Amino acid sequence: MKVSVLRIGHRLVRDDRVTTHAALVARAFGADRIYMTGIDESVSNTVSSVAKRWGGEFEVHVIEDWKALVRAWKKEGGRVAHLTMYGVNVDDVIEKLRKENRVLVIIGAEKVPREAYDLADYNIAIGNQPHSEIAALAIFLDRMFKGKQLKKELKGGRLKIVPAEKGKQVLESK
Amino acid sequence: MKVSVLRIGHRLVRDDRVTTHAALVARAFGADRIYMTGIDESVSNTVSSVAKRWGGEFEVHVIEDWKALVRAWKKEGGRVAHLTMYGVNVDDVIEKLRKENRVLVIIGAEKVPREAYDLADYNIAIGNQPHSEIAALAIFLDRMFKGKQLKKELKGGRLKIVPAEKGKQVLESK
């Protein structure tokens, strides 16, 4: 089962840090790529440089037309899950989603256009309280992969942490 | 078991949105309060207004000296858990933490001072890859409360969502 992420509604500068967090979460929690619209180059550079240093095969794609991407995704047999506080509880649908081959997770910024709700096969709530699309994405991926992604080793990185009770221990390959 | 959150290292303007997300996550995922240092008033106003509209009893405290807070917390018998990618795996310590009466969770911004590692009873990693303190806080609280916080009703709010497969359904008490 492969999960990709689509970030929509990014507002230049204002959302740079939040979008960077979302992309890093997508990578660390087991998604294979993120699609982003309207971002500043610094966002994709930061994410690519993290991926290079810390390993794995995460991809960053900057796209123009997110609706075209979603339609193509569905046409090829993939499923679309939109994370929204207005949707149905994640625990009620996650088992069904785990059986899919390819899932595209849509996360929005403050205002999400109506089309996202309509195009999605699933509108999924990570609780019905307002919080954060970064948190929603993390919990969704954690549920999808049953928490196993947190212990997975990502290959090919230069840096690797040795878990420690105090301070920082990092292995560096030169 | 009560969980409070301490956000340190906030940088004015640059971190406003990330800190707001962190505070909203603390509330939505079952913490009873957040302590923040050096924030702009708009951050605490946003969080307080969400809490007012959507219910519950979440508290926002703006403090000056986070180290004094942590020391007082420990002196009164509370435990301190610092979330850091350098720490030990959350799944290895969460059961122990669930048995505590009062836990203070520290989350930092980009650079966290050495004192946070030293003052903490636990340095806990939500995976050993770089991602986001917002995601780390969400996963930590989700593990602490075993996912139950997502279905909890918060009392006293004016707005309440009715989970829906498409679109938005909100109950409003006037």
Q: Any chain A CB within 8 A of the CB of B85?
A: yes
Q: What was the pLDDT predicted at A38?
A: 87
For the segment A95-121, the average pLDDT, to the nearest whole number, is 95
Residue A49: per-residue pLDDT: 94
Chain B environment of A151 (Cβ under 8 Å): 89, 127
Nearest to B45 by CA among B20, B25, B13, B64: B20
The pair of three-digit structure tokens given for residue A67, joined into one six-digit string: 């609706």
Question: H helices of B29-160, where?
Answer: 41-54, 66-75, 90-98, 114-119, 133-144
Task: State the helix-helix crossing angle for A16-28 and B133-144, rounded to 10 degrees.
Answer: 50
Alpha helical stretches, state H, chain B: 16-28, 41-54, 66-75, 90-98, 114-119, 133-144
Identify the DSSP state of B148: G
**Confidence class for position A48, pLDDT limits 50, 70, 90:** very high
Nearest alpha carbon to residue A31 among A161, A168, A163, A154:
A154
Residue-wise pLDDT tens digits, A123-159: 999 999 999 999 999 999 999 999 999 888 899 999 9
Yes or no, beta carbons of B163 and A125 under 8 Å apart: yes
- Our CA-based measurement puts residue B121 at a distance from the nearest CA of chain A, in whole angstroms, of 9
Decide if B138 and A117 are in contact by the 8 Å CB cutoff.
no
Q: For chain B, list residues with pLDDT below 70.
A: none
CA angle A24, B139, B83 (to 5 degrees): 80
End-to-end, the C-alpha distance of chain B in Å comes to: 34
Lookup: tokens for B3: 């969980």
Interface probe for A, chosen from B18, B107, B121, B128 (most Cβ of A below 10 Å), is: B128
Please tell me which of the candidates A14, A126, A167 has its beta carbon nearest to residue B150: A126
Element (H, E) at A117: helix A114-119
* Claim: this prediction has a pTM higher than 0.90: yes
A64 to chain B, closest Cα gap in Å? 25
Residue B82, classed as helix, strand or coil, is strand
pLDDT at B13: 85
Helix pair angle (A133-144, A90-98), 10° resolution: 50
The model's pLDDT over A58-80, given as tens digits with 9 standing for 90+, comes to 999 999 999 999 999 999 999 99
Instruction: Residue A153: name the closest of A23, A5, A33, A30 by CA.
Output: A30
Q: Does A163 touch chain B (CB under 8 A)?
A: yes
What local confidence, expressed as pLDDT, does residue A151 receive?
Answer: 86
Q: Which of A92, A150, A134, A28 is nearest to B94 (CA)?
A: A150
Distance CA A127, CA B148 (A): 10
- The answer to whether B28 faces chain A, any CB pair under 8 Å, is yes
- The pair of structure tokens assigned to A159 is 């840096």
The Cα of B127 is separated from the nearest Cα of chain A by a number of Å equal to: 4
Burial class (CB in 10 A: 0-12, 13-18, 19+), B96: exposed
* Residues B107 and B6 sit within 8 Å (Cβ to Cβ): yes
Q: Please report which confidence band the pLDDT of residue A102 belongs to, taking 50, 70 and 90 as the band edges.
A: very high
- β-pair partners for B2: B102
